[in-house]
Structure formats: C-alpha cells, structure tokens
Amino acid sequence: MASIEDLANELSRQLAIYANAVEEDVDKAAKNVSKQGKNKLHQTSPEGARGDYAKGWSIKKKGSNYILYNATDPQLTHLLENGHVTRDGGRTQAQPHIKPVEKRMIKDFEKEVIKAVEGR
C-alpha cells in the first residue's frame, strides 16, 4: 500500500519531468523564432553601400536567451531604425526594419510557448 509520502514523491518527480520537457520545448521555440527573425532581417534590412549591414545579422546564445544582433555594423541599427541628423542639419528618413520583425517574433514566440505548455 502506497503512503501519502510516496504519492507526494511521485507527483514531485512527474512535475519535474514535465517542467524539463516544457523548458526544452521553450528553448527550441526561442531558437526557431530567432532563426526566423534573423532570416526576415536579412530580407528587410537596408542594403547599405556595401550590402554588409543586411548580411550582418547574427544570433548568439547567452544563458538561456538568444540575442539577435548585427555583427558587421552594430552602430547603424539605431541610426537606420530611427533616422538621424545629417552634417548639414537635415534629418534622414527613418527606415524601420527591426521593430516590425521584433513584434512578429514576440507573437510567434508566444504561440510556440502556449503550444509547448498545452501540448504536454
């Protein structure tokens, strides 16, 4: 006959298994969404004079986070996204290309996390 303590231990073990499985699924979702975001930024980013800016998007994993950044021209991301003052005092037109991809990535990640939690 099983005791209450045995039941509690088994329940705890099953919850740990569930938590690990969900954590793995969430990590896979983050990786996939990051890759999709990188590919979209490759397509939608301004080319620039040499075309390096659009090709420079990269992903690195830091802890459990995936960071999407521009490896070739990181200083241009803010200037291109928001516009900037020119030498003669004028302003360049903003070329929003990061924000729309970010919004899409957030929606996609939320869907994937919900699917990971409910699918277990």
Burial class (CB in 10 A: 0-12, 13-18, 19+), 40: middle
**pTM surpassing 0.75?**
yes
CA 17 to chain centre: 26
What would the mean pLDDT of 93-115 be, rounded to a whole number?
Answer: 96
What would the mean pLDDT of 8-23 be, rounded to a whole number?
Answer: 92
Q: Decide: 74 and 58 in contact? Cβ < 8 Å.
A: no
- Segment of 52-56, 107-111, 115-119 carrying the highest mean pLDDT: 107-111
- CA 65, CA 61: separation in Å to the nearest integer? 6
- Strand-pairing partners, residue 66, are 61
